Structure 1
Amino acid sequence: MRFLQRTCCFYTCLCLLGLCLLGTSTLAEEATLHGSIIDVETGTALPARLYIEATDGKLYHARSASPDGSAVEYNNQRSPTSVEVHTTLSAHPFAAKLPRGKYKVTAERGKEYFSAATDVDLTNGDAEVTLKLRRWIDTSKRHWYSGETHVHRSMDELPNAMLADDLNVALPLTHWVTQAYLPPTQGDKNSPEVAAKLIEIDPTHVIYPLNTEYEIFAVDGKRHTLGAIFALNHKTVFTKGVPPVTPIAEQAHREGALLELDKHNWPWSMMLVPIMDVDLYELTNNHVWRTEFFFKGFGEPPASFMNVARDRNGMTERGWLRFTFQNYYTLLNCGFRLRPTAGTASGVHPVPLGFGRVYVHLPDGFSYDAWMDGLDAGHSFVTTGPMLDVFVNTQRGGATLKYNNGQTAELKIWGWTESEYPLPRIEVVSMGSSVALDVTNTKTARGLFRNKIDTTAEFAQSGWIAVRCFEQLPNGRFRFAHSSPVYIDIAGKPYRPRKQHVNYLIERVKKELERHAGVLPEAALEEYRKALSIYEKIAETAR
């Protein structure tokens, strides 16, 4: 018996020793990266978004090294090449325990700083790094403030993520319904309950939490996709489901909310525009990411006149962007003056918060109410990278220039673009047609590229005009910015859209009417008939 006890004790000691040695071996195979992210000009710590990539492509997270700090890990992947793995950090030191080896460490902060990257070798043990971010533009000094209107991040994460990417306004969709007729009070994807009260992170970074997404994938428990629509900035929780959508539109507008068309090629989108009096159009939407483009075959197809680029897998990223633009221009040409906005659906897709964002011009300084009013007025531009400021005569985007019958509108289009990388193209867009401008890409002392916009145009009939630009990245990807339109109203000379443009809208609605027969209730079908009637009326004067 004593022999057995001694034997058991002996083997127990061996096992414990083995575990200790294993733990020591594991620790020996790891090293700690210590780091900080600072403003190169002031030396102060900055909140930022951090990427840690090993030589084998594996991605890692960091943690805050301060008891007062915070770190939010983000992991989202749609394909082997469409991946977003980062950590957003507060303005404190960070640390990361990593397998020994070599890494590339990159810090980014929103759109207004050059990224900072360095190689780190942890082969022989711990290392320390300081990433120095340098601002290339300060839009707030020019009275521009950024926001995003399609957000799926949790309320706990948003303060950290917004400061890390310097996003001034976020409108998280805290009520989210995916079933027809289900009210947001019973939303199947709702966040925890929130009050209709502004949350101030600091004086220029705010969250308005009561926003709703109807994203309908099923009717009566069966798969039957309708699409998505957002109500932003409403004051009470909606108690009705959709369809029909008219009661929601009426309540939203009564409460001072804005209605946002998510993606233009959801099945129901072209019905929503005239029926709900939609306010906002996502010119950069949740299929536009920092990582590789993924959704090559999503939704309703583009019309042939849009000339959308494709490859063997479907729409290219440039093709998707052109489809987005051309659909917007078609609606503008038919008299629907939707204001541009930007959304990423960060929290659902592999994309940082605010990768696509909308800047609103606030000449009297920042406030949430002023920002929402400016967004609604179209005093804005959207961007995934470059910055622009455009005037038509003396007016920025959203303005309407009025002329008497018989007058010719003589316009001066002027302003500037600034970007981290050179712009291969700057274009003036009018009624969907574009004209390329001269590009100089003058490099400034701060290292950014600047272009001057200075051209003229004449209008003999009503219309609209805007400016867009494209930025070429070293890795072959591209980014863009697009101004809000300025409208030209000449009395007695309305713009007559092309028949093929109006027919595209008509066919979109007709297709849905046929698909929904016997599925949707009569009140919902009547909304499609009404939309069809509106488009057919426009077609009567089309050319």
Structure 2
Amino acid sequence: MNVVRRQVAQAHFHERLLLTSLTVGALLASAVIGAQITGTVVDEKNGELLPARIYIQDADGNWHFVSPASSEGSAVRYAKTNWVNPKSVEVHTTISAHPFRAELVPGKYTFTIERGKEYRPLITTIEVNAQNVQLRFPLSRWINMKALGWFSGETHLHRTVEELKNVMLAEDLNVGFPLSFWVTTAFSAPGRSGLNMPGENQAKLVSLDETHAIWPRNTEYEINTIGSKQHTLGALFLINHRSVLANEVPPWEPVANKAKFEGALLDMDKLDWPFAFMLPPITGAQLYELANNHMWRTEYAFTNYVSFAPPYLHPPYGSRVGTERDWTLYTFGMYYTLLNAGFRCVPSAGTASGVHPVPAGFSRVYVHLPEGFSYEQWIAGLAAGRSFVTTGPMLFATVNGRDPGETFRQTDPVATCQITGSVVSEEPLAFIEVIRDGMPAITIMPKNELTPEGARRTEFTANITFDRSGWLAVRCWEERANERFRWAHTAPWHIELPGKPLRPRKEEKDFLVSRMRFEIQRSSSLLPPQAKAEYERALAFYEKLDVQDDSQQVAKQSRPPKNETDLRYWLENMICDHGFTPHEVRMATGLSLDAIEKAQKQYDIPNKRPSPTRKQNLRVLPYPGGRHPRTGFLEGALNPIRDTKFSVFLPWDDRSYVVVDAPEAVWSNLGLTFLAHEHIDTIWTKQGKTLEPIEWNRRPDGSLDFERVLPNGIAFGTKVVPGPDAVRMEAWIRNGTTETLRDLHWQVCMMLKAAAGFHEQTSQNKAMRSPYIACKSNNGRRWIITAWDPVGRLWQNPAVPCIHSDPKFPDCLPGQTVRARGWISFYEGSELDAELARIENTGWRKTTTAP
């Protein structure tokens, strides 16, 4: 039994088990005198009956279905439990716009009523007794996308056409593509597959009403068996084709050409699939499921990846496992890599509802049709990228007044683009990002203004300049309860400048090449010559890619080693301790990749230092630069310097660390007196003065310290002293001027990007108890804690992500030195307040560590 058949069988087994338990519950309920609940779902404003999705759960956690209350109505039951995570459950009934009924025994029940994306969920607890009751459930609309000229669709559905006639109206999903033909074995034609949907599934549009339509003829090739061998390649969807495809795969190019000739769109599933990067150069696939079938309403399940995600896609050191947000960013990053390699595929959305525990249309793509809906215009708009993908927020953006999908061909050597738009969301946004060539270029903190419908709105405008060809897109993040999130992402806009083509970064090219080489080695013995040739052609395409010339950036940011001893220390620091790739070492040192490889061999530097024993002090090292310590809000830290940054490694994971910038900024009554990156002017840059680089002093006891003297005589410094259970810090400012310094405060940033398990871009995993601020791990059992005394401000920035306990200093007379003391520790347990009380009892606020 191949992987897909086994997974489908497991899904059906869980479905039968769940349905059986629900049926048994219903039979038991019928033995008890109960009540018949009759209900209607209506629009709160106009009272119109609505189709909807209904969840009913009793006090013991059991699920219940509803049925139509009359012959005019319809209802579709759905019950799925994931085979990896049994907590990932989706049990509901979708109903038509008619009354429904449920037979329930006395007790308390939670009713949850939802309709697609544009209505606010209604959650209510109802006490049922032995009497029949009629209930009315009013839903409140928070946005009307049809009125705004936007219409939604989904490209990955494992639901029959008959089901979708009910489901799509309940979800207000305008366009649906059921994968009526599904083949999982290599060299087999889809028309003969045992996984195909029942019915003829003709190449004929099924119109449900004026704005909802189904195209029944769509095919999924998901190859998991080659001959008698279980061997996974991956999946490709062909939507909107006309004939029943007779092509056997691999090879893939013939079926791609035939389907495109029929007007089909080729939709790439997850790029994590082993064969995925062969598809763009060979098939010319037009779509990519940016919102894929691992993104659900219920609990996330698929924490293990098929392929290894390299460090640039999964910081700090790459991984095969990750959280829901890790998976989302990994999915985004692979798409960005394709765009940078020149493939102008546009984003789509698919849930695989019918296999997975997720409602149809949970993720969807909205296409802009300002003249009104037609299927033909919708499919054309999807292909053109006049769209955005969402799991929740509604993201409207234009560049120079044009919708996503536009290409701007410039004649000038520089192009300035104005991005304008708004986001409307059911819950408050966390932040908005403008993505340029795959990197966050502009971060916009939302206003979250309340709309008359009770939603949140943020309008934004930003300008961005291109001096070479590239692309941009906008994405946004919405916070949800229980540390969940929803997001939206536009299709890209493309900017073409004469003689300056878009190029991938070296690490992106290396990733594409390595993926193809690995897949050729893994699969070539099982492939026929024509299919193997496709792999070789894809590899040749990636090998010929020219890469970005980043020599100016390297020259600006790197700090060459002073001598052989310095070179060896920093290579050990970067490679052994921080797990840098050769590209990151190059960014930090300015050395060529060949010189780095030669030096690593010369000094016999391993890729990983042996793990320290727990009895030793916490490991503290100077941060070497080269790898940006932030995930987002990069424009707030341009060209960061390493002078004030140090790393503290986690006691539970010797490869993970936080980067502390102490200080990131120094403020006084004179203005911004020091800044550890380029973002805004300091009092020195305004005078045209450049501060010379300095380094941390590394002491024999493992402590670090530095002192910097500014041009006006002000001096400041930090000492960092690691212990077995905590890192103590002391900061000082010495006034070498003739005037009293006032309003003295530091900005001390603890950046969490490289702390695996603490790196989520959310505000929900932070706790503040002045002077302490703490970050909780994604498993909820561990904490990173930091504090300064005296403290001026506690805050966080989820986009970075980072936490701050920023010290505030007393006024400093001429010749005087003022001090603040800091603390960093790690805690495993659930009693944070008790741990903070224990820390307070150590007396750290009064302990002097400075020289």
Coarse TM-score class (shorter-chain normalised): over 0.9
Structure-2 residue corresponding to 1:7 = none
1:68 to 53, 63, 72: 72
Please give the alpha-carbon distance, in whole angstroms, between the structure 1 residues aligned to 2:226 and 2:390.
Answer: 36
Amino acid aligned to 2:479: Q
Contact 1:112 1:136 in 2 (8 A): yes
> C-alpha deviations, 1:304-333, integer Å up to 9, x for none?
111358999931000000000000001001
Q: Say whether residues 1:447 and 2:451 are aligned partners.
A: no
Please give the alpha-carbon distance, in whole angstroms, between the structure 1 residues aligned to 2:130 and 2:201.
Answer: 49
Q: Say whether residues 1:250 and 2:260 are aligned partners.
A: no
The range that moved more, 102-111 or 437-446, is: 437-446
Do the aligned partners of residues 28 and 335 (structure 1) sit closer, same or farther apart at CA in structure 2, a change above 3 Å counting?
Answer: same
Greater Rg, structure 1 or structure 2? 2
Contact 1:65 1:95 in 2 (8 A): yes
Do the aligned partners of residues 71 and 483 (structure 1) sit closer, same or farther apart at CA in structure 2, a change above 3 Å counting?
Answer: same
| Equivalent residue runs for 1:100-499 within 5 Å | 100-192=106-198, 193-307=200-314, 314-404=321-411, 406-434=412-440, 435-499=442-506
1:52 to 47, 52, 56: 56
The range that moved more, 124-133 or 174-183, is: 124-133
Please give the alpha-carbon distance, in whole angstroms, between the structure 2 residues aligned to 1:256 and 1:153.
Answer: 23
Contact 2:305 2:320 in 1 (8 A): no
Please give the alpha-carbon distance, in whole angstroms, between the structure 2 residues aligned to 1:25 and 1:401.
Answer: 64
Please give the alpha-carbon distance, in whole angstroms, between the structure 1 residues aligned to 2:268 and 2:510.
Answer: 20
> C-alpha deviations, 1:127-159, integer Å up to 9, x for none?
332111111111111111000000100111001
Please give the alpha-carbon distance, in whole angstroms, between the structure 2 residues aligned to 1:256 and 1:28.
Answer: 57
CA drift of 1:303 comes to 1.4
Contact 1:310 1:316 in 2 (8 A): no
CA drift of 1:221 comes to 2.2
Amino acid aligned to 1:228: A
Contact 2:33 2:130 in 1 (8 A): no
Question: 3-state SS of the aligned residue for 1:475?
Answer: helix
Question: 3-state SS of the aligned residue for 1:171?
Answer: strand
Any stretches of 5+ residues in structure 2 without a counterpart?
A: 1-26, 551-851
- Taking only the aligned residue pairs, the percentage that are identical comes to 47
Structure-2 residue corresponding to 1:3 = none
Please give the alpha-carbon distance, in whole angstroms, between the structure 2 residues aligned to 1:71 and 1:296.
Answer: 33
Please give the alpha-carbon distance, in whole angstroms, between the structure 2 residues aligned to 1:173 and 1:149.
Answer: 8
Contact 2:309 2:318 in 1 (8 A): no
Do the aligned partners of residues 472 and 310 (structure 1) sit closer, same or farther apart at CA in structure 2, a change above 3 Å counting?
Answer: farther
Contact 1:225 1:267 in 2 (8 A): yes
Q: TM-score, normalised by structure 2?
A: 0.60
Do the aligned partners of residues 486 and 267 (structure 1) sit closer, same or farther apart at CA in structure 2, a change above 3 Å counting?
Answer: same
CA drift of 1:440 comes to 0.7
Contact 1:38 1:46 in 2 (8 A): yes
Please give the alpha-carbon distance, in whole angstroms, between the structure 1 residues aligned to 2:29 and 2:147.
Answer: 54
1:506 to 513, 519, 541: 513
Contact 2:159 2:354 in 1 (8 A): yes
CA drift of 1:540 comes to 6.0
Do the aligned partners of residues 345 and 40 (structure 1) sit closer, same or farther apart at CA in structure 2, a change above 3 Å counting?
Answer: same
Contact 1:308 1:319 in 2 (8 A): no
The alignment covers a number of residue pairs equal to: 520
Question: 3-state SS of the aligned residue for 1:346?
Answer: coil
Question: 3-state SS of the aligned residue for 2:251?
Answer: coil
Question: 3-state SS of the aligned residue for 2:544?
Answer: helix
CA drift of 1:343 comes to 0.2
Contact 1:217 1:223 in 2 (8 A): yes
> C-alpha deviations, 1:457-512, integer Å up to 9, x for none?
10010000110001111333110000011100001111221110011011111011
Do the aligned partners of residues 241 and 508 (structure 1) sit closer, same or farther apart at CA in structure 2, a change above 3 Å counting?
Answer: same
Question: 3-state SS of the aligned residue for 2:477?
Answer: strand
Please give the alpha-carbon distance, in whole angstroms, between the structure 2 residues aligned to 1:261 and 1:373.
Answer: 18
Q: Say whether residues 1:39 and 2:51 are aligned partners.
A: no
Contact 2:311 2:318 in 1 (8 A): no
Please give the alpha-carbon distance, in whole angstroms, between the structure 1 residues aligned to 2:421 and 2:110.
Answer: 38
Please give the alpha-carbon distance, in whole angstroms, between the structure 1 residues aligned to 2:301 and 2:30.
Answer: 38
Please give the alpha-carbon distance, in whole angstroms, between the structure 2 residues aligned to 1:47 and 1:308.
Answer: 44
Please give the alpha-carbon distance, in whole angstroms, between the structure 2 residues aligned to 1:403 and 1:331.
Answer: 23
Question: 3-state SS of the aligned residue for 1:493?
Answer: coil
| Equivalent residue runs for 1:8-19 within 5 Å | none
Please give the alpha-carbon distance, in whole angstroms, between the structure 2 residues aligned to 1:151 and 1:533.
Answer: 35
Amino acid aligned to 2:366: Y
1:538 to 541, 545, 557: 545
Please give the alpha-carbon distance, in whole angstroms, between the structure 2 residues aligned to 1:323 and 1:255.
Answer: 33
Do the aligned partners of residues 175 and 467 (structure 1) sit closer, same or farther apart at CA in structure 2, a change above 3 Å counting?
Answer: same
Question: 3-state SS of the aligned residue for 1:142?
Answer: coil
Contact 1:234 1:255 in 2 (8 A): yes
> C-alpha deviations, 1:382-412, integer Å up to 9, x for none?
00000011011111100001111x4311111
The range that moved more, 432-441 or 322-331, is: 432-441
Please give the alpha-carbon distance, in whole angstroms, between the structure 1 residues aligned to 2:59 and 2:316.
Answer: 34
| Equivalent residue runs for 1:13-28 within 5 Å | 26-28=30-32
Contact 2:430 2:445 in 1 (8 A): no
Please give the alpha-carbon distance, in whole angstroms, between the structure 1 residues aligned to 2:367 and 2:51.
Answer: 23
Please give the alpha-carbon distance, in whole angstroms, between the structure 2 residues aligned to 1:316 and 1:309.
Answer: 14
CA drift of 1:542 comes to 6.5
Do the aligned partners of residues 354 and 420 (structure 1) sit closer, same or farther apart at CA in structure 2, a change above 3 Å counting?
Answer: same
Please give the alpha-carbon distance, in whole angstroms, between the structure 1 residues aligned to 2:403 and 2:29.
Answer: 64
Q: Say whether residues 1:77 and 2:115 are aligned partners.
A: no
Please give the alpha-carbon distance, in whole angstroms, between the structure 2 residues aligned to 1:120 and 1:438.
Answer: 39
CA drift of 1:298 comes to 3.0
Please give the alpha-carbon distance, in whole angstroms, between the structure 2 residues aligned to 1:25 and 1:523.
Answer: 61
Do the aligned partners of residues 172 and 103 (structure 1) sit closer, same or farther apart at CA in structure 2, a change above 3 Å counting?
Answer: same
Please give the alpha-carbon distance, in whole angstroms, between the structure 1 residues aligned to 2:124 and 2:318.
Answer: 35
1:518 to 525, 531, 535: 525
Question: 3-state SS of the aligned residue for 1:141?
Answer: coil
Amino acid aligned to 1:512: E
> C-alpha deviations, 1:497-529, integer Å up to 9, x for none?
111001101111101100113211111110000
Contact 1:308 1:315 in 2 (8 A): no
Contact 1:169 1:206 in 2 (8 A): yes
CA drift of 1:26 comes to 4.8
Please give the alpha-carbon distance, in whole angstroms, between the structure 2 residues aligned to 1:359 and 1:478.
Answer: 19
> C-alpha deviations, 1:58-105, integer Å up to 9, x for none?
111101101100000000001331000000000111111123210110
Do the aligned partners of residues 240 and 542 (structure 1) sit closer, same or farther apart at CA in structure 2, a change above 3 Å counting?
Answer: farther
Amino acid aligned to 1:528: Y
Question: 3-state SS of the aligned residue for 2:152?
Answer: strand
Contact 1:343 1:354 in 2 (8 A): yes
Question: 3-state SS of the aligned residue for 1:418?
Answer: strand
